[in-house]
Chains A and B, each alone.
Chain A
C-alpha cells in the first residue's frame, strides 16, 4: 500500500493540475445542437456540456461551470478525448474511464485510455469518483438528448 503522500501525487498529477488551472474547451460551443447540465449535490459542483453532433460524430464539444480540480481536469481532458469521435467511441471511452476510476488502473487497458489515464489515481479516493465522472455523465446525457439535469446522486 502506498503512503498518503504518494497517493496524493497520483491523484494530483501535473497534467491534472494543469488542466484544472487552464481547462481546454472551457466555452459554449457555437452552433451546438446538444447540451446537458450536470451537478453533484454532495459538493455543489455544477457544469454544462454543449456539443455539435454531425451525423454520428462529435465535431465540437465544450464545457462550463464550477468544480474541484478533479472535475475540471476530467471535463477538460474529456473534451479533448471525444472530439471527432463517434458516439459509440465516446461511450466506449466513458466505460473505460468509469472502470479506471472505480476499479483502478490494473482493471483496464491503459493504452486505450490515452490521456485519460492520468485519472488513474482517483481509484484510491472513493470520495472523488463522482468528481471525475460528472463531466462524462453529462456528456452522455447530451448525446442521448436527455434534457433533465444529470445528478451524481
Chain B
C-alpha cells in the first residue's frame, strides 16, 4: 500500500462491519482497547491449530515451534521499538504489570526512606498507584510535576523537582485523558544529567507514531498489546540491559530459575528472570502479528493519518455549541476529551451509545488530572488508524442529538 487508505484499513477489522443499535458501529474508544485486524485473529488461531505447546521445556517439535514463535515475537518487538538486544524485551501482562515490575524490583532495591519518586499530574492510575505503594513500602516521598491549563507539563518546574533525592522519574508518553504528547526525550536528558533513570509509560503512544527507545534514551518503556491491535493479557517492558541485569527477580516460579534446591536457587538470565511460569504464548504471537500489521501500514503513514484526523476532529468539535475541549496541548495524539455544557459526560455517553457511537466517559483512571481541571469526568473520543472523518462527523451529529434531548 503506497498511500494510507483508511477504507482499505477498515476492511482488515471484521468487528467494524457490524451495526449496533440499528446503526453502523462508530468505534471511538481505542484508547481503552483497540480492535483487532484479521491478521492478528488469524495468527492466534493458527498458533492453536498448528504450534501450541509449552516453551523452553519440551524436546518435541511443537515445543520447538512454540519456542521459536515466542522468542521470534520478542525479536519483532525489539525491532519495533529499536531496542539494542532482544534480552531487553520482557513479556508481561500489560503496561500495569510492567510498571509494577519496575517499582517492585528496581524500586525496592534502590529506593529508601527520604528518597523521592517523581511522576506527573497527568498519569493514569497504573503509573501512580505502583509508585504510591512503593513509597508506602519504603518511606520514600512521591513528588509530582504539575500540569498547566492546556494540559501540558510545567517544564520550568522539572529542574527543581529532579533532586539528589530523586531515584526515578516515571512519565507517560501520551496522556490517556488529555491526549498530550510529553517531551520525554527532553525529560530523559534532564533526568540523566542528574543520574536519574526514567520510565516511560507508552500505553497510549506506540499506536500513534514511531517509538525509538534508543533515540528517547529512556531506561524503561512500558506498553500493552491490546491497545495496539493485539490481544489482551500481553504487554512489554523494555529495559536497558544493564538496568534489567542489576534488578532482582519479580515473581518466582518456573522458567525464571536455572536451578533449584531446597537450600539454594540460581536465577535465570534476563529476560527470563522476569517471566515466571508459562507465558502468554498466543498473546506474544498475536502481538507480533499486530506489530507486523502496523509496520506493513508504516508508522509514519499512521502518524500522518492521526495528525490529520486529530486536526479535523479538533476543528469540528470546537464548532459544537457549548463544547469545551479538556486538554489543548500543542502536541496531542489520538484523544479528544471534552465537556458539553453542563451535561454530565455519562449522559452524553448513553445518548451517543444509542446512536451506535462508542466513546468513553468517566475519569479514565486518571482522577488527579480530572481534579486539576475541576471536572468529575469527561467524554472522551479516542481515535485509531481505522477511524475516518465520517466517524468524527457522526460524533458531532450525536452531540447535537444530546443537546436536543437535554433541550
A→B interface (CB under 8 Å):
3-5, 7-8, 11-12, 17, 42-46, 66-70, 125, 127-128, 131
Contact = CB atoms under 8 A, between A and B. Distances in A.
Contacts of B347: 12, 68-70
A5 B376 contact: no
Contact of B350 (A42, A44, A67, A125): A125
Contacts of A69: 343-344, 347, 406
Contacts of B367: 44
A43 B22 contact: no
A131 B355 CA distance: 21
B407 interface: yes
A11 B23 CA distance: 20
B370 interface: yes
B295 interface: no
A128 B350 contact: yes
Contacts of B363: 43-44
B350 A127 contact: yes
B376 A4 contact: no
Interface of B: 21-23, 343-347, 350-351, 354-356, 361-363, 367, 370, 376-377, 405-407
A12 B363 CA distance: 23
Contacts of A44: 362-363, 367, 370, 376-377
Looking at A8, A45, A131, the one whose CB has the most chain B CB atoms below 10 A away is A8
B376 A66 contact: yes
Contacts of A4: 21-23, 354-356
A5 B22 CA distance: 10
B20 to A, nearest CB: 9
26 contacts: A4-B23, A4-B354, A4-B355, A8-B350, A8-B351, A11-B350, A12-B347, A12-B351, A17-B405, A43-B361, A43-B362, A44-B362, A44-B363, A44-B367, A44-B370, A44-B376, A45-B346, A66-B376, A67-B344, A67-B376, A68-B344, A68-B345, A69-B343, A69-B344, A69-B406, A125-B350
Contact of B377 (A8, A43, A125, A128): A43
B350 A43 contact: no
B322 to A, nearest CB: 15
A5 B354 contact: yes
Given A4-B355, A43-B361, A17 B346 contact: no
Contact of B376 (A3, A46, A127, A128): A46
A5 B352 CA distance: 11
A17 B402 CA distance: 12
A43 B355 CA distance: 21
A15 to B, nearest CB: 13
Looking at B23, B350, B362, B406, the one whose CB has the most chain A CB atoms below 10 A away is B350
Contacts of A3: 22
B354 A8 contact: yes
Contacts of B23: 4
Given A66-B376, A70-B347, A42 B362 contact: yes
Nearest to A131: B346
A17 B407 contact: yes
B125 to A, nearest CB: 11
A96 B347 CA distance: 24
Given A3-B22, A4-B356, A12-B351, 6 more contacts: A43-B376, A43-B377, A66-B376, A69-B344, A125-B350, A128-B346
Contact of B405 (A8, A68, A70, A127): A8
A11 B347 CA distance: 10
Contacts of B21: 4
Nearest to B23: A4
Contacts of A66: 376
A2 to B, nearest CB: 11
B73 to A, nearest CB: 34
A77 B257 CA distance: 62
B360 to A, nearest CB: 11
Nearest to A39: B376
B312 to A, nearest CB: 26
Contacts of A128: 346, 350
A19 B380 CA distance: 26
A150 B320 CA distance: 37
B283 to A, nearest CB: 27
Nearest to B376: A44
B151 to A, nearest CB: 18
Nearest to A4: B354
B362 A12 contact: no
Contacts of B344: 67-69
